[in-house]
Amino acid sequence: MIEAAMIWNEPNNKSHWDLEIDPDWALYADMAIRAGAAIRRANPAIARVLGGMSPIDPDWLRRMEDHGALDHVDVVAVHGFPLDWNLWPIHAWPDKIAEIEAVTDKPVWVTEVGVGSFGADEVQVFGLNRTAELLIGRVPRLFWYSLYDLPQEWGATTRHREAEGSSYYRHFHMGLIRADGTPKPALADYARVAGEMGLMQWFHFADPRLDTAVAWMKRLGVRRVRTGLSWADSFRPGALDWFDRQMEALEPFDVTLTFCFTPEHLGVAPHHSSAPRDPQAFADFCASMIERYAPVRAYSAAGQWPLAATA
């Protein structure tokens, strides 16, 4: 069951939003406002999440407030990878959450947190356990990234790819299970907290890992999953068949569904990180997916997100 819809992924990250086109995020804010309104019309019970910020930046959130975007979301989300990409220590997690709480009254979710095994499996074991100690019970929703390693032959969705150096190659070592299907040592540690720490797992178009991923998540006792539906993929032949299969497979979990990735033919520039030429087209995509996979008749008649005040 879908409990939340996230509007884009890491919009303040230059790998996921084109800051040359939109240096003040005014275009992103307009798109988020339209998408938030469209999701609310489609189903008022769905929590609207401002796409997980990375880096964690209270000034960026103030800018979103100045643009009016926070009036159209229920939750703000953060992503953090202190042992792989961020320039702050893992022990600073409570301080990073407090920085965002100081500038908004919205609930703060951690919709991606992870530690890779790029350097050593033992680093990931330490990182997972320390993250659990610091964040379980501190935030209402928490998602570990990710279940599977990204196969290197698939490539990572970043703007600069190999030019990023080791930062790029770390993308392929963030899972609890290797690309060949063998578990890493941290998987056993994750199993102890799976009921409280959800999983964030991107599924590629027609991803062959879907069924085994669902089987693993059930075996581990996962309750909450964050994933995405790509606006760009929606133009592929057979897109709705694949979306239907993915969402049916994830039905047993409480899902936070991320909408992102601009189709090349609809962007200001021909790139997945581009602002769309018509932001309402993205909003319409979000609404159509909510109407298809979270129809209002299946939700509370209260007409509002029932979890807004929970911790």
pLDDT digits (tens, 9 = 90+) for 31-44: 999 999 999 999 99
User: Do strands 224-230 and 75-80 pair parallel, antiparallel, or not at all (unpaired)?
Assistant: unpaired
According to the model, what pLDDT value does residue 307 have?
A: 46
Q: Give the confidence band of 310 by pLDDT, cuts at 50, 70, 90.
A: very low
More confident residue, 266 or 308: 266
More confident residue, 107 or 302: 107
In a domain, 65, yes or no: yes
Is the pLDDT at 20 greater than 50? The verdict is yes
CA 255 to chain centre: 11
- Within 8 A by CB and 6+ apart from 304, the residues are 44, 45
Q: Which residue has the tokens 């609310």?
A: 40
According to the model, what pLDDT value does residue 101 have?
A: 98
Strand partners, 113: 80, 144
In a domain, 211, yes or no: yes
In a domain, 311, yes or no: no
pLDDT digits (tens, 9 = 90+) for 125-137: 999 999 999 999 9
In a domain, 251, yes or no: yes
* CATH code for the domain in which residue 55 is found: 3.20.20
Q: Count how many domains the chain has.
A: 1
In a domain, 219, yes or no: yes
pLDDT digits (tens, 9 = 90+) for 285-297: 999 999 999 999 8
Is the pLDDT at 306 greater than 60? The verdict is no
**Mean model confidence pLDDT for the chain:** 92
Q: What is the mean pLDDT of residues 176-197?
A: 98
According to the model, what pLDDT value does residue 151 have?
A: 75
In a domain, 281, yes or no: yes
According to the model, what pLDDT value does residue 119 have?
A: 87
Q: What is the mean pLDDT of residues 200-217?
A: 97
Round to whole Å and give the CA distance between 112 and 182. 22
Q: Give the confidence band of 302 by pLDDT, cuts at 50, 70, 90.
A: very low
Is the pLDDT at 226 greater than 90? The verdict is yes
User: How far, CA to CA in Å, does 134 sit from each of 85, 129, 234?
Assistant: 19, 9, 38
Nearest in space to 52 (alpha carbons), one of 23, 94, 17, 12: 12
Which pTM was predicted?
Answer: 0.93
pLDDT digits (tens, 9 = 90+) for 146-170: 999 987 766 666 655 655 556 665 7
Q: What is the mean pLDDT of residues 241-245?
A: 98
289, amino acid identity: M
- Within 8 A by CB and 6+ apart from 308, the residues are 47, 74, 107
According to the model, what pLDDT value does residue 297 have?
A: 84
Round to whole Å and give the CA distance between 283 and 37. 8
In a domain, 309, yes or no: no
In a domain, 310, yes or no: no
Q: What is the mean pLDDT of residues 250-277?
A: 97
List b or e across 71-100, with b for residues whose CB sees 16 or more CB atoms inside 10 angstroms: ebbbbbbbbbbbbbbbeeebebbeebbebb
According to the model, what pLDDT value does residue 198 have?
A: 98
Query: Which residue range(s) make up the domain with 200?
Result: 2-298
